[in-house]
Amino acid sequence: MSIRYYNTMTRCAEEFIPLVPGTARMYTCGPTVYNFPHIGNFRAYVFEDLLRRHLTYRGYAVTQVMNLTDVDDKTIRGANAQGVPLAAYTQPFVDGFFADLAALNIDRAEHYPRATGHIPEMLAIIEKLMARGIAYRADDGSVYFSIEQYLASGARYGRLVKLDFEQQRASGRVNHDEYEKETVADFALWKAYSADDGAVVWDSPWGKGRPGWHIECSAMAMKYLGPTFDLHTGGVDNAFPHHENEIAQSEAANGVPFVRYWLHCAHLMVEGEKMAKSKGNFYTLRDLLAKGHDPLAVRYLLLSAHYRMSLNFTMDGLAQAHTAVQRLQQFRARLDEPGPAGETAPETAAALTAAGEKFGGSLDDDLNISPALAAVFDLMRHANARLDADAPETERAALRAAFDRFDTVLGVMRPAAVAADPEAAAIDALVAARQAARKAKNFAESDRLRAELTRRGIVVEDTPKGPRWHRA
């Protein structure tokens, strides 16, 4: 089965045919580093990680670019409020972002360009647009992209969101980076210096100033991926005006299509409402971790709904995700227990084939995650029954390989989680002491040790092959 993704531009699922066979070049809108990302942001980043991992699972060599917007209205305002240089203000949020990516087990992109490191590339694009008469210098020294001139060149504006331009003619100019989604306006490519910018300033052919937000992504995408590339992703809120403006300035500058497949993920709600600090339902990842939640449970919950469906993030849902992740991790640890000699049972060979086909085929169908997860849990139930029957080592090895391959996409099973526990050695010693007490029929000591393990949040399971432990 071919891979098919829903292309926002065409409003249909299309077969994924990359420009260069066997490769996938993708640009994912990254954070604006004026604060720590919230879980709504991470809904998009986890979706993009699933996309990347799926492509890799299917054998594609992926080149991913995720920008870091470190100069815009918000970052400048924050730096000025603290009285520090822009780089000093944004760096802690950059560091925090990468720490959050690691906690959520999000694979690293090949490139994380910062806007401040790509000013020459932005100026080069603006110069092309000026030379073609599609950009103009306003009285205040700022340079704007002209929607009317773009349309006059034969181009269409609003294709990504099916905008009826005749009903929404350009309404003047917009100088700030973010504006009303319904506003069609000439947007700033280069902003003339103002006192509000403080020390944030660069030279340009049009005078001192700094870039607008939209031009940053075009410049960074084209530098690392070329004038046309395969995939561009982001949250649905980025589709207009940000992505529409990216298309306009990029295609006007280069005269070739910008992106072949546009993928957007839907909004995240929290407890049925839009996330807002005033409602007390606004969470960063570090907020959730401070409450004791497992970051891989957060990952699981964020990827468990189809990316084009609105996701309702609830604490009950997070608790269920934690249970699901624990089941997977405990099962994967169980697979590492050695088995006797023997051959794989025919029913297990058939179950492995069916699960692999359902898992891969579901994800090939626009990342249809629900049946893919069902395939994993169905196989796990079969495998647990086989382990209860003392499945041979060859069968266990085949199951280990299958679940490890599934986890290259899901990223939640962490088979080495117990070994990585900083208290593992001490807990192992307590479990061993309890086991020795049981064998010596010293049940008072055995109970005392179990109580100590429980106090530490450790659950001990007594099995025919000895005790196993995990965190509650």
Q: Which of 30-39, 114-123, 427-436 has the lowest mean pLDDT?
A: 427-436
Cα–Cα separations (whole angstroms), residue 220 to 38, 213, 214, 228, 451: 24, 12, 11, 13, 57
Residue partners of 325: CB distance under 8 A and separation at least 6: 294, 296, 297, 300, 412
Q: pLDDT above 70 covers what percent of the chain?
A: 93
Residue 177 predicted with pLDDT over 70? no
DSSP at 166: G
What number is the average pLDDT over the span 180-204?
88
pLDDT in tens, 369-381: 999 999 999 999 9
List all residues 6 or more positions away from 373 whose beta carbon is below 8 Å from its beta carbon: 304, 410
306-345 CB burial, b ≥16 within 10 A, e <16: bbeeebebeeebbeebbebbbebbbbbbbbeeebeeeebb
Output the pLDDT for position 181: 53
Least confident range of 221-225, 228-232, 335-339, 417-421 = 417-421
Query: What pLDDT does 415 receive?
Result: 38
| Beta bridge pairs of residue 314 | none
pLDDT value of residue 418: 38
Q: Identify whether the C-beta of residue 264 lies closer than 8 Å to the C-beta of residue 244.
A: no
pLDDT reported for residue 276: 83
pLDDT category at 417 given cuts 50, 70, 90 is very low
Q: Which residue has the tokens 């949040």?
A: 457
* Stated pTM of the model: 0.86
Per-domain boundaries in the chain? 4-265, 273-417, 421-471
Which residues lie across from 15 on neighbouring strands?
4
Higher pLDDT, residue 363 or 453: 363
Looking at residue 455, what is its pLDDT? 75
Same fold, 4-265 and 273-417: no
CATH of the structural domain 273-417, one choice from 3.50.40.10, 3.30.530.20, 3.40.50.620, 1.10.730.10: 1.10.730.10
In order, the DSSP letters of 390-447 are: T--HHHHHHHHHHHHHHHHHH----TTHHHH-TTHHHHHHHHHHHHHHHHTT-HHHHH
d(Cα 46, Cα 303) in Å, to the nearest integer? 6
Q: What is the pLDDT of residue 174?
A: 76
Which residue is listed with tokens 């720490």?
Answer: 99
**Omega cis (within 30) before 392:** no
Structure confidence at residue 420 as a pLDDT band (50, 70, 90): very low
Reported as a pLDDT band with limits 50, 70 and 90, residue 423 is low
The pLDDT assigned to 96 comes to: 94
CA 210, 213, 219, 220 torsion: positive or negative? positive
Amino acid symbol at 384: N
- For residue range 234-292, list pLDDT tens digits in order: 999 999 999 999 999 999 999 999 999 999 999 999 999 998 888 888 999 999 999 99
Edge-to-edge strand order for the sheet containing 268-270?
A: 273-274, 268-270, 311-313
Res 68: pLDDT: 97
Strand 61-66 and strand 23-28: pairing?
A: parallel
Instruction: Pick the closest to residue 213 from 251, 161, 249 (CA basis).
Output: 249
Decide if pLDDT at 419 tops 80. Answer: no
Tell me the C-alpha distance between 7 and 264, whole Å: 8
What is the H or E stretch that residue 304 is in?
none
Residue-wise pLDDT for 439-467, tens only, equals: 888 888 888 888 888 877 788 888 776 78
Where residue 280 falls (left for φ over 0; alpha for ψ -120 to 50; beta otherwise) is left
Q: How far apart are CA 344 and CA 366, in angstroms?
A: 33
Q: What was the pLDDT predicted at 437?
A: 79
Q: Which pLDDT score is estimated for 178?
A: 65
Instruction: Report the chain's mean pLDDT, rounded to a whole number.
Output: 91
Query: What does the alpha-carbon distance between residue 333 and residue 336 come to, in Å, rounded to a whole number?
Result: 5
**Would the pLDDT of 416 be above 60?**
no
**What's the average model confidence in pLDDT over 165-181?**
61
Looking at domain 4-265, which CATH architecture does it have?
3-Layer(aba) Sandwich (3.40)
* pLDDT-derived band at 348, boundaries 50, 70, 90: very high
The dihedrals phi and psi of 88, each to the nearest 5 degrees, come to -70, -30
